[in-house]
């Protein structure tokens, strides 16, 4: 490809990707540290508020409750990341040095498991906050909308996984199989 074209297109693509927005009316299904709270984020999105006929007061009550939960989730995720990094460093020592005690790794694994349990409890708190704020009719609408969103997300992830598997498969087919190097040339030829 022409070098000038590449030099021109690369910055354009980068700028476009930085300012890309999700399609309007749809909650983005990207992976983020707070992806686990997609239910809460969906419920307070403008589309869900309109579709479930949630009042401004109810929406604010939900936002306040879910913001507290999200703040706690972010703190937990930060702690898990820090613990996992420490665990990785300790794991290197255990792998590379005989006689290193693995007990600190087990302790970190226990701490991470405890934090994951807290995350699960926060997910339940999200559902409780929604239940306590909305009417029966609104909860039915929200449940229906969340089922649809969940199906859409599942299809999207399945499609992404399938594309990734196909791409990886094509890469594997393009790679030449391992072959030993050719023998050195015979002397006297």
Dist. CA 158–CA 152, nearest whole Å: 10
Phi, psi of 127 (to 5 degrees): -65, -40
Evaluate whether 67 touches 37 at the Cβ level (below 8 Å). Answer: no
DSSP structure string for 120-146: HHHHHHHHHHHHHHS-HHHHHHHHHHH
Pick the CATH number of 35-161 from 1.10.490, 1.20.120, 1.10.150, 1.10.3470: 1.20.120
What per-residue confidence (pLDDT) applies to 150? Answer: 86
The residue count for the chain: 189
- Mean pLDDT per 10-residue interval, the chain, length 189 residues: 46 39 41 56 86 92 92 94 93 87 93 95 92 92 88 90 87 71 76
Hunting for tokens 């594997």 — which residue is that?
172
Task: Note the pTM of the prediction, 2 decimals.
Answer: 0.62
Phi, psi of 182 (to 5 degrees): -65, 150
In this structure, is the dihedral angle defined by the CA atoms of residues 41, 47, 51 and 57, taken in order, positive or negative?
positive
Dist. CA 95–CA 182, nearest whole Å: 35
């Amino acid at each position: 490809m022409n070098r000038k074209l590449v030099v021109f297109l690369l910055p354009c693509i980068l700028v476009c990707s930085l300012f890309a927005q999700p399609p309007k009316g749809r909650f983005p299904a990207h992976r983020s540290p707070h992806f686990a709270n997609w239910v809460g984020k969906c419920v307070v999105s403008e589309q869900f508020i309109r579709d479930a006929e949630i009042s401004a007061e109810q929406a604010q009550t939900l936002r306040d409750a879910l913001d507290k939960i999200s703040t706690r989730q972010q703190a937990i995720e930060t702690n898990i990341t820090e613990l996992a990094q420490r665990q990785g460093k300790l794991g290197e020592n255990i792998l590379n040095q005989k006689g290193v005690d693995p007990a600190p790794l087990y302790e970190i694994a226990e701490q991470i498991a405890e934090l994951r349990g807290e995350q699960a409890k926060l997910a339940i708190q999200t559902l409780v906050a929604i239940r306590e704020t909305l009417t029966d009719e609104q909860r039915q609408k929200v449940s229906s909308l969340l089922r649809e969103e969940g199906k859409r997300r599942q299809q999207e992830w399945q499609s992404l996984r399938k594309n990734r598997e196909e791409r990886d498969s094509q890469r594997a087919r393009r790679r030449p199989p391992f072959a030993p190097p050719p023998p050195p040339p015979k002397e006297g030829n």
